[in-house]
Structure 1
Amino acid sequence: MIDSQQLDITAQDRRFYWFWILPIQTMLMTAYIVPMYGFNAYIEPINEIFNPARALDGWPGAISGGLVFLGTTLGAVLERLLGKLSHSARIQLLLSNILIAVTLVIFAVACWYESIWLLMTGGSFLMGIGMGCNFSFSAKLLLSWGRHMGHLGLQSGVFGLLFGVWGAIYSLMAPMLIQRWGIEWTFIGTACFVMLFAFLSVIRLRMPVEPAARSTLDKPVLSLRQIAATRQFWFFTICMLILLTPGFGFKVIVQSLSEHIYHVSSLTASLVAVAFLMSYGISRLICGLLADHVRLKPMYLLFTGGQMILLTVTAIALPDVQGIAFIAVMMCLIGSLFAAGKSLWGMLAMALFGSSNLNSAIHGLLVAFGLAGLLGPVTLNWALRSDDVLRTTSWWMYAMAGAMGLACLLVWLMRTFDFEAAANHKHQPMHWKPSERDERDRF
């Protein structure tokens, strides 16, 4: 029996999706991420300019990297305003990429004039706003195509894979470019790269046409205020904040951590960063493929519980283990579970609140992304500044493991939004005891 959704998909849509959207448009629309996912390559050069006495564990690089992620929160909110002002999807996408390119130039100017405040506010935070606008728009467009074609998990997985691939390529190339050109011209060259791919990405840009008949199958549209008034949303948000914090810390500090603790060469530290980002990308692809066929709640219990166990094991072994191999492997494993959680958060939001409320859920959830992106690098960098760095880093991991235990509990308590209760102006029921669980607890 042919699914009714498949009858709504034209042959032209199929060709356009499989030959353009999935392989090419996704690659073009994720290229903007290179300065964000490859930011680990900037940490030491920035610290050498603004804090040369403690170049490997200085705070300027860590905070500037964290502010980029924090700025994504505001960027997600401004994305709607940018869309109204642009009157065109192409113009909106170009404007968000122009903002990223401009902030890279501001980074270069800040480094030339050694202005730490220009680096933090004019560079890092504004870049995060541009990244948030771009991510929110790109996620909506690409995931809409995945949903339209019935391959939402696959599209989400490829989307995440290319984030990791771009970040890995840039983490490997950026140190060589910085050594040859200097960090200032590397920033400017990266800005040109972002704009080149931005212009290529708007050549065949279009949203899928959803049949009118299918809209009746969607759940009612909720405002962000209605979603934020529910326990489900806050369980979801706090869980994602905890789930993402260690991974963001490793993502930004991975090279500095490798060089500072184990005194390896810049090339070795870059290769550790590449391994971390490739494990990130591959994990997102695998989980995206699985998500079309398995339930999400057990997977998130695995992501949170797995990180809790890995962080605890790493914390116990770190003070006594010699050599970088152990920490590199453990960071890749933790990064894989971190990436898996990021890969499926859009699908989890749709499972909880309905596909018609994906946009509102994206805007609300990016608060957790931004705070995790700031807290992870800043707290891990604090550990690296200690005199007994191995033991302090070990205690940081114990703290993250404890928080991950709370995330496991929040996942277990999550349940889908009860639209019937909302229509009758009733509170969303929460089932605390195992004997009270029902179908809304299964998703």
Structure 2
Amino acid sequence: MSPPVAPPGWSRWLVPPAALSVHLSIGQAYAWSVFKPPLESALGLSGTQSALPFQLGIVMLGLSAAFGGTLVERNGPRWAMTVALVCFSSGFLIASLGAATEQYWLIVFGYGFVGGIGLGIGYISPVSTLIKWFPDRPGMATGIAIMGFGGGALIASPWSTQMLKSFGSDSSGIALAFLVHGLTYAVFMSLGVLLVRVPRGEKPVASAPSALDGVQVSARNAVRTPQFWCLWVVLCMNVTAGIGILEKAAPMITDFFAGTSTPVSVSAAAGFVALLSAANMAGRIGWSSTSDLIGRKNIYRVYLGVGALMYALIAWFGDSSKPLFIICALVILSFYGGGFATIPAYLKDLFGSYQVGAIHGRLLTAWSTAGVLGPLIVNWIADHQEAAGKHGSSLYGLSFLIMIGLLAVGFVANELVRPVHVRHHIPAPREAVDVQREQSAP
């Protein structure tokens, strides 16, 4: 599928809405915690088990982004958005069948595996195109689009909660909710497929590196640099810290204030998930735009350093003040979202715009790792603490201290980032065509 080229006079500001239609849809993944309690009740699952579809979805997001990044660069954004639409919507339909038949493995396979492929391809589908449309403000451009992924739960959380109330929270009600999600998102994502355009003169594969300004590094060479792996660690640690709260947000705030004078209802917990989504969304555009002004390394110092402080406040004082708990969680999620939106611009600064989409895809394997690590830390520790007779905020204290340590590791990795050595740069212009042909191979 050839990418449609923008006609003369086409406004570049039409491209972010196309990306948003896809990202707002696949951002539903952040509202998974709304389905956790009904699934646990209907199918007799533990907290760790009910996290599996989400975890597998994030694993497949990173893997499909890594292996599909070059294909996205080659085939263009319309092809990528179409693949994302088919996989993400099909994942919900398979999960609906799994819920209707009470076959949990089908929910894991559909939502996690098939839907996760849609997550990965859909996530990276607009990144390279946006950077080409907005070379003057890459942080802002990617932030606008990627904020949709963070804001998806702002829509999906109350919407899913209302459907479960209307359809019922048993297996048949969950199945019907999954079915409605799949069909609705298919229609909404098609808007992005129809609207997206690439700049005139662009081809699906990036322009020859000799024609681009500044440092240019191929995807194959990028993964051989220490800078790539430092950023891998930075992203992994930041994502682990944020996703640990996000995946278990609804039950976490309920547990924290259970037995107090201000317990949290199911609807209020869903509202908390929506607030986290809003912070995630706002952080993606706000912090990434700020990075255009103060630099990528400085903004990651904020994400990781202040993020560790927020976790410390929750661990030590969160159960004594609901406003403090909520504010700290919102700040952490704004940093989580900001980290995602800033990383493509950080990559462009270090490696250039040549094959930046493919490099970004490979870096998202850090998200796959964090998608397992974050929920595993929080759910596994909470399950074991509950088995030991503990309750309330005691279920999460140890996991929060671990998150502080991980953020410290990420902070150190960010400090180690330096400009890429010249030996990794694209070779002389007359060799560029051969290099491009070699690097475009999957």
Deviations 1:294-339 (A, max 9, x none): 2111111111111111112222224xx3353332221111111222
Q: Secondary structure at the match of 2:320?
A: coil
- The answer to whether residue 380 in structure 2 is matched with residue 382 in structure 1 is yes
Name 1:68's counterpart in structure 2.
57
- The answer to whether residue 15 in structure 2 is matched with residue 21 in structure 1 is yes
8 Å Cα contact 2:236-2:366 kept in structure 1: yes
- The answer to whether residue 40 in structure 2 is matched with residue 47 in structure 1 is yes
8 Å Cα contact 2:127-2:357 kept in structure 1: no
Q: Secondary structure at the match of 2:250?
A: helix
Relative to structure 1, the CA distance from residue 137 to residue 87 in structure 2 (aligned partners, 3 Å threshold; closer, same or farther) is closer
Name 1:364's counterpart in structure 2.
362
Shift of 1:34: 3.9
Q: Secondary structure at the match of 1:165?
A: helix
Deviations 1:197-238 (A, max 9, x none): 2222222322113587993314334233x2222221111111
- In 2, Cα distance between equivalents of 1:288 and 1:51: 41
- In 2, Cα distance between equivalents of 1:310 and 1:339: 15
Relative to structure 1, the CA distance from residue 283 to residue 343 in structure 2 (aligned partners, 3 Å threshold; closer, same or farther) is same
Amino acid aligned to 2:218: L
Deviations 1:373-406 (A, max 9, x none): 1211121112322232423411111111112111
Residue number among 315, 321, 327 corresponding to 2:325 in the alignment: 327
Amino acid aligned to 2:414: V
Shift of 1:92: 3.9
Residue number among 380, 404, 408 corresponding to 1:401 in the alignment: 404
- In 2, Cα distance between equivalents of 1:82 and 1:236: 23
- The answer to whether residue 175 in structure 2 is matched with residue 158 in structure 1 is no
8 Å Cα contact 1:63-1:377 kept in structure 2: no
Relative to structure 1, the CA distance from residue 215 to residue 30 in structure 2 (aligned partners, 3 Å threshold; closer, same or farther) is same
8 Å Cα contact 1:350-1:357 kept in structure 2: no
- In 1, Cα distance between equivalents of 2:182 and 2:50: 19
Q: Secondary structure at the match of 1:356?
A: coil
- In 1, Cα distance between equivalents of 2:333 and 2:189: 28
Name 2:414's counterpart in structure 1.
411
Name 2:190's counterpart in structure 1.
199
Shift of 1:122: 3.7
Pairwise mapping of residues 116-127 of structure 1 onto structure 2 (< 5 A)?
116-127=104-115
Deviations 1:416-441 (A, max 9, x none): 211247689xxxxxxxxxxxxxxxxx
8 Å Cα contact 1:300-1:411 kept in structure 2: yes
Shift of 1:273: 0.8
Name 2:251's counterpart in structure 1.
256
- In 2, Cα distance between equivalents of 1:199 and 1:248: 28
Name 1:434's counterpart in structure 2.
none
- 5+ residue gaps, structure 1, are 1-9, 425-443
Name 1:217's counterpart in structure 2.
213
Relative to structure 1, the CA distance from residue 403 to residue 354 in structure 2 (aligned partners, 3 Å threshold; closer, same or farther) is same
Name 1:343's counterpart in structure 2.
341
Residue number among 77, 80, 86 corresponding to 1:98 in the alignment: 86
- In 1, Cα distance between equivalents of 2:250 and 2:370: 19
- In 1, Cα distance between equivalents of 2:250 and 2:336: 18
8 Å Cα contact 2:55-2:375 kept in structure 1: yes
Q: Secondary structure at the match of 1:220?
A: coil
- In 1, Cα distance between equivalents of 2:215 and 2:69: 21
Deviations 1:137-184 (A, max 9, x none): 12223333222xx23222122123323332212111111111212211
Amino acid aligned to 2:399: W
8 Å Cα contact 2:66-2:363 kept in structure 1: no
- In 2, Cα distance between equivalents of 1:144 and 1:257: 41
Name 1:310's counterpart in structure 2.
310
Alpha-carbon RMSD: 2.6
- In 1, Cα distance between equivalents of 2:303 and 2:70: 34
8 Å Cα contact 1:262-1:323 kept in structure 2: no
Shift of 1:344: 0.2
Amino acid aligned to 1:131: L
- The answer to whether residue 277 in structure 2 is matched with residue 284 in structure 1 is no
Shift of 1:42: 1.5
Name 2:174's counterpart in structure 1.
183
Relative to structure 1, the CA distance from residue 314 to residue 188 in structure 2 (aligned partners, 3 Å threshold; closer, same or farther) is same
- In 1, Cα distance between equivalents of 2:235 and 2:92: 29
- In 1, Cα distance between equivalents of 2:229 and 2:76: 33
- In 1, Cα distance between equivalents of 2:328 and 2:75: 47
Name 1:173's counterpart in structure 2.
159
8 Å Cα contact 1:315-1:397 kept in structure 2: yes
- Which structure ranks higher in relative contact order (CA pairs < 8 Å, sequence separation ≥ 6)? 2
Q: How many residues align?
A: 402
8 Å Cα contact 1:32-1:97 kept in structure 2: no
8 Å Cα contact 1:73-1:367 kept in structure 2: yes
- 5+ residue gaps, structure 2, are 1-5, 168-172, 259-263, 428-442
8 Å Cα contact 1:76-1:363 kept in structure 2: yes
8 Å Cα contact 1:63-1:378 kept in structure 2: no
